[in-house]
Amino acid sequence: MDTIIICKVCGNRFKPEKPFHTLCCDENGIYDAFDCPRCGSQRIVQKRLIEFKTDKFEEFIRAAKENNETEIEEDPFDSMIIDLKSIFKNI
């Protein structure tokens, strides 16, 4: 069974194919969306999970150890999420 998206603006029915895929964001997160090929309006289909890169976490821990920090006050996950939000804020 093929998935079909129905545009809420013009009623066009289309398949969620890669050329129509886009990412959008607001203060609550990042979302997968598809642009209607007829009218161009966006249809949000789901919230996108943040991809976790272990090398960023390991880099954070290594820097903390080099500075002889016995307790890490900052949560590295928070800084990664803030960085990601700042990237999408200007789009």
Q: What's the confidence (pLDDT) of residue 77? A: 53
Greater pLDDT, 10 or 25: 10
pLDDT computed for residue 84 by the predictor: 54
64-74: pLDDT as tens digits: 777 765 555 55
pLDDT at 7 over 80: yes
Tell me: pLDDT of 88 over 80.
no
Query: Per residue in 32-71, pLDDT tens?
Result: 999 999 999 999 999 987 766 667 667 766 777 777 655 5
Q: Please report the pLDDT score of residue 48 as a whole number.
A: 85
Q: Residue ranges per domain, the chain?
A: 1-49, 50-91
| pLDDT at residue 76 tops 60 | no
Q: What is the dihedral of CA 57, 60, 65, 67, to 10 degrees?
A: 180
Q: Indicate the pTM of the whole model.
A: 0.54
Report the sign of the C-alpha dihedral through residues 8, 10, 13, 18, in that order. negative
